[in-house]
Chain A
Amino acid sequence: MRDLIRRNLPFAAVAVVALVAAPLLLEPFRLGLLAKYLCYAIVALGIGLAWGKGGMLTLGQGVFFGLGGYAMAMYLKLTEAGPGGLPDFMVWSGVEELPALWAPFASPVLALGMAVLGPMALAVVLGTLVFRQRVRGAYFAILTQALAAALVILLVGQQGLTGGTNGMTNFFELFGRDLAEDSTQRGLYLVTAGVLGVLYLATRQLVNSRFGRLLVAVRDGEDRVRFLGYDPALVKTVTFAISAGMAGLAGALFVPVVGIISPALLGVVPSLELVVAVAVGGRHALAGAVLGAVVMGYAKTAFSEQFADGWLYLQGALFILVMTLAPKGIAGLLGRVRRARTA
């Protein structure tokens, strides 16, 4: 029992800060930014699981994030347009009838379900095709990256269906509440933080389970695992699907929090940025992945406010620095400090 409390103390402390202190102390604008970083942190958690524990370097999480985001955006647009109405951007592009693809997204349950299950289904299909063929390492990374690029092209090309390059924005209400209200945004922040907390605990549980051991074994010796009677492709597909589901949910939260979804938010660059964030935070620890997303999110905001273009280079430099000097990232450094103190 005491052990249980001590093990969960850091988590509890962070939870108190996130759920109590932050909403009290931060002004609405800053709280909104933090909510955005927490959305990214949910994606990062999935990357930490798939890449850190499972060895699958996925450079295309933006795809799943985007699918979740678009599902949510479609729902928001449809509620605004009202029954029989058309979303604003469709009117501008001369679309006259609601496309059949859109119809199910009028239901919040279906839309949210699609935001999570859609990405998971795509990951299962992709994983089944790719992992069965024993595609891994750099090939898998490039493939996921290509997928992100392809989705951007698809979204941009279907102007009338997706809002094209501009994506979708101008959302005004969510479940009958005004999105511009501070209280709504605070509520969204709390939901996002809560979702992240629950997913973090669930993922940690998974990593510590026998499945988690199996996943690490697959990462370190896929062929050996096969000769223990397991199907590594299945283990990887399941894990990849879980990480995709997380990214989808994060996308669905991101849309009402930030107020926009567009191809630029889910392409190759944002997908890469998240992987860099996980590396900086420390991919071998789930907490490191979450931390990395928040830290890099803040850093990006802070630097982009001053020198817009510098961020890309700084990010690259930071990535190289971390990979060469502290391959276990911030989490690794913190761990070393803690061990040094107890030793």
Chain B
Amino acid sequence: MLELRDVRVEFDGYRALDGVDLTVPEGELRFLIGPNGAGKTTLIDVITGLTRPVAGSVRFAGHDLVGRKEHRIVRLGVGRTFQTSVVFEELTVLENLDLAAGFRSPLWTLARRRRGVSEAVAEALARTGLEELAERSAGVLSHGQRQWLEIGMLLAQRPRLLLLDEPVAGMSGDERERTGRLLTEIAADHTVIVVEHDMEFLRRHASTVTVLHEGKVLVEGSVEQVSADPRVQEVYLGRRPSDAAVGERT
């Protein structure tokens, strides 16, 4: 479904991605890990059209994504979140979701007021457990709730591929747990790529893991394989990956 071939990205001569190959089949929940500056965010940026690679190809469901505008890629069914969550604080939770859900309607049809709650929005509210907060302004949400709202906004768009950049960063234990369950649920009927460091979290929720290091794919495999790999342990500064998780979030 998603296929990257020999993708290279340069920032002023600096190779942020140095020949990345990545294949993610339909329906998979893939975790993407790697130390700070490994190029994880850049990889998501390339897929979603924010950053243009100097070489290589990105194909999604039969479409070539390189050179396409961001909003066109979204319309193909690729949704993403950002490391720092952005919800629209002046709008209510419901309005945020409704905005996300309406992206396929032609602009002129938006000239009317919202009436009721669409099916996609209701579903996203239920899945993220934000029903109680629907009428509250998004500005009052806690950090965790914002992340869920962002994920909810993605779900309301009914994408085929979701890219989540460190969705549990900065969350409390409870919130992580809940997010993990949400991810597993979402993965049941979506293809999902999650950037995350926390090995504990990975062990609980991951199936396949891709380790990125200095712009290259270092290893790919199950959580056990990856965490046992000496190269991965070395990359995490000679510590065991589970230790490295602490304070390694960017």
Contacts and interface: CB of A to CB of B under 8 A. Distances in A.
Given A210-B98, A213-B95, A213-B99, A229 B110 contact: no
A217 B99 CA distance: 9
A229 B107 contact: no
Interface in B82-102: 82, 86, 88-91, 95, 98-100, 102
Interface in A217-241: 217, 220-221, 223-224, 226-231, 234-235, 238
Interface string A200-224: 0000011011110110110011011
A227 B111 contact: no
A226 B113 contact: no
Given A217-B99, A231-B71, A210 B79 contact: no
Which secondary structure characterizes the binding site on chain A? helix
Nearest to B76: A229
B75 interface: yes
Nearest to A217: B88
B110 A228 contact: no
Contacts of B70: 226-227
A210 B114 contact: yes
Interface of B: 48, 69-71, 74-75, 79-80, 82, 86, 88-91, 95, 98-100, 102-104, 107, 110-114, 153, 157
B79 to A, nearest CB: 7
A234 B72 CA distance: 13
Contacts of B102: 210, 214
A205 B113 CA distance: 8
B110 A214 contact: yes
A22 to B, nearest CB: 32
Interface string A227-259: 111110011001000000000000000000000
B114 A221 contact: no
A220 B107 contact: no
Contacts of B91: 213, 216-217
Nearest to A206: B111
Given A209-B113, A217-B99, A226 B71 contact: yes
Given A205-B113, A213-B114, A227-B74, 13 more contacts: A210-B110, A213-B98, A214-B102, A217-B88, A221-B88, A223-B86, A226-B70, A227-B79, A227-B82, A228-B71, A229-B103, A230-B71, A231-B71
A293 B75 CA distance: 42
Contact of B71 (A209, A217, A229, A238): A229
Contacts of A221: 86, 88
B137 to A, nearest CB: 12
Contacts of A211: 107, 110-111
Contacts of B90: 216, 220
A90 to B, nearest CB: 43
B38 to A, nearest CB: 22
Interface residues of A, number: 23
Contacts of B71: 226-231
A218 B177 CA distance: 33
B145 to A, nearest CB: 17
A209 B112 contact: yes
A211 B88 CA distance: 14
A216 to B, nearest CB: 6
A67 B130 CA distance: 50
A217 B86 CA distance: 10
A196 B91 CA distance: 28
A291 B88 CA distance: 28
A260 B153 CA distance: 53
B103 A228 contact: yes
Contacts of B75: 229
Contacts of B113: 205, 208-210
Contacts of A228: 71, 74, 99-100, 103, 153, 157
A309 to B, nearest CB: 41
Nearest to B108: A211
A216 B88 contact: yes
Given A213-B99, A228-B100, A238 B89 contact: no
10 contacts: A205-B113, A206-B111, A209-B111, A209-B114, A210-B99, A210-B102, A210-B114, A213-B99, A220-B89, A223-B86
Given A227-B80, A228-B153, A210 B112 contact: yes
Tell which of B71, B74, B86 has the most Cβ of chain A within 10 Å: B71
Nearest to A218: B88
B100 to A, nearest CB: 5
Contacts of B80: 227
A211 B153 CA distance: 17
In the complex, the 4 A-B pairs of residues with the closest C-beta atoms, listed nearest first: A229-B103, A229-B74, A211-B110, A210-B110
Contacts of A209: 110-114
A227 B95 CA distance: 16
B88 A235 contact: no
A235 B103 contact: no
Nearest to B74: A229
B207 to A, nearest CB: 26
Nearest to A224: B86
Contacts of A205: 113
Tell which of A209, A210, A211, A227 has the most Cβ of chain B within 10 Å: A227
B63 to A, nearest CB: 15
Interface in A116-135: none
A205 B114 CA distance: 12
B107 A234 contact: yes
Tell which of A205, A216, A238 has the most Cβ of chain B within 10 Å: A216
